[in-house]
Amino acid sequence: MRATPRPMDRILPLLSALAIGLGGAGVAAALSIPAGPLIGAALATGAAAAAGLRLDLPAWLRNAGFAVIGVTLGAGINPGFLGDLVRWGPSLVLLVVAQVVTVMSGAAILSRRIGLDRETALLSASPGGISTAIALALDGRGDATPVLVLQVMRIFVLVTVTPPLALLISTPVTPQIPAPMPWAMLGVLVAVAYPLGLWGARHGLPAATLLLAMALSGAAHGLDLSHGRPPAAAVFTGFALAGIGLGTRLTGLRPRDLARYGRATFFLLGNAIAVSLAFAMAAAWISGLDAGATWIAFAPGGVEAMTAIGLALGYDPGFIAVHHVTRILFLTLFVPVLMARRR
């Protein structure tokens, strides 16, 4: 007879994740690390999860953090956003080309140097659409274990290396922080954005809660219904929850799997970073865009993490979000079609 799970069996992993993640976020913020709450929480919970500690963050709490980040991003959208889309055209074209190069070259590296089969290599090398890649692998298109490990490690490592690299190639931007948004208005925006995010996720929109919260907040600010940015405590908590959600993805992954695919992660990330950085610099040169912001927009990490990092570094949130959504949508279509043609 199966034992009934005790309440503490569910609560303890959550409390552990929150304690470790918020502690790591606080330390990183105190050290003035770029995007500190996000990176600190991810590193702390990721290390604990990889060491075998049971951690858990419910989807509703993770999405609440994304909703707060989305509202924060929307508060900084430029009123000339629609006109900017035309100016970003060349950059978006180069972004799409970069994804093709990244997938094809990454898959070739994994096949030749690591010995992965062609389908597993393609799914592992896709710099985005992690849920689609894992779903295809579980459906019998390749080996799900290396796909999961390599995809999670890609996002995890990029969260730590993207901010310092952006600061190396660009002058840091000091964000213009307006007066704090009233807590009541933040609560209203999050309460409306949350169900919108659930609806968007059901219809296949990537990072639905964050993006729809950003759109809602941007509209509210544009219509003069809302002013200012969420209070600092709310922003800190939203970033920390996003980092905890990332770190807890390592729960259940065996240390021997992480060690086994460590070499593959090194080759794959080296290739993805080199390709994305080369195309980002080309886009910045052609379009006259800021090099650091363009690198964040091209970096092959998760939509939520990269937009949050861009926000923390003071870059245009609309520019970052549009590029990452374009990347994910393109890969969601491109990789399955590519795999179907290779069968």
Q: What is the pLDDT of residues 161-176, one digit of tens each?
A: 888 888 777 765 555 5
Q: In 225-261, which residue ranges form alpha helices assigned H by DSSP?
A: 232-247, 255-260
Alpha carbon distance, N-terminus to C-terminus of the chain? 45
Residues 6 or more apart whose CB falls under 8 angstroms from that of 84 comprise: 78, 316, 318, 319
Which pLDDT band, with edges at 50, 70 and 90, does 274 fall under?
A: very high
The separation between CA 342 and the C-alpha centre of its own chain, rounded to angstroms, equals 29
Q: In the numeric block, which tokens belong to residue 272?
A: 């993805």
Rounded Cα distance between 270 and 147, Å, is 17
Residues 6 or more apart whose CB falls under 8 angstroms from that of 172 comprise: 292, 313, 314
| Higher per-residue pLDDT: 287 or 93 | 93
- Give the Å distances, CA to CA, from 34 to 39, 100, 234, 240, 259: 8, 30, 18, 13, 28
Say whether pLDDT at 343 is over 80.
no
Q: What does the pLDDT look like over 22-80, one tens digit per residue?
A: 999 999 888 877 667 877 888 899 889 878 888 988 988 988 988 898 888 777 665 65
Residue type, 21: G
Q: In the numeric block, which tokens belong to residue 340?
A: 């179907």
Rounded Cα distance between 195 and 69, Å, is 16
H/E segment holding residue 152: helix 144-169
Beta-carbon-side half-sphere exposure of residue 23 (alpha carbons within 13 Å)? 10
Rounded Cα distance between 29 and 211, Å, is 25
Of the ranges 187-196, 204-213, 225-234, 285-294, which is most confident? Answer: 187-196
Please state, rounded to an integer, the average pLDDT across all residues of the chain.
81
Q: For 114-130, what is the mean pLDDT?
A: 83
Of 103, 66, 81, the C-alpha closest to 322 is: 81
Q: For 188-195, what is the mean pLDDT?
A: 93
Rounded Cα distance between 11 and 18, Å, is 11
- Give the Å distances, CA to CA, from 246 to 81, 153, 162, 204, 211: 30, 10, 15, 20, 18
pLDDT (0 to 100) of residue 223: 78
Q: In the numeric block, which tokens belong to residue 236?
A: 């800190």
Q: What does the pLDDT look like over 243-259, one tens digit per residue?
A: 888 788 777 667 777 77
Say whether pLDDT at 1 is over 50.
no
The separation between CA 252 and the C-alpha centre of its own chain, rounded to angstroms, equals 20
| CA dihedral sign, ordered 43, 44, 48, 54 | negative
Q: Global pTM?
A: 0.70
pLDDT (0 to 100) of residue 129: 64
Residue 229: strand pairing partners: 180
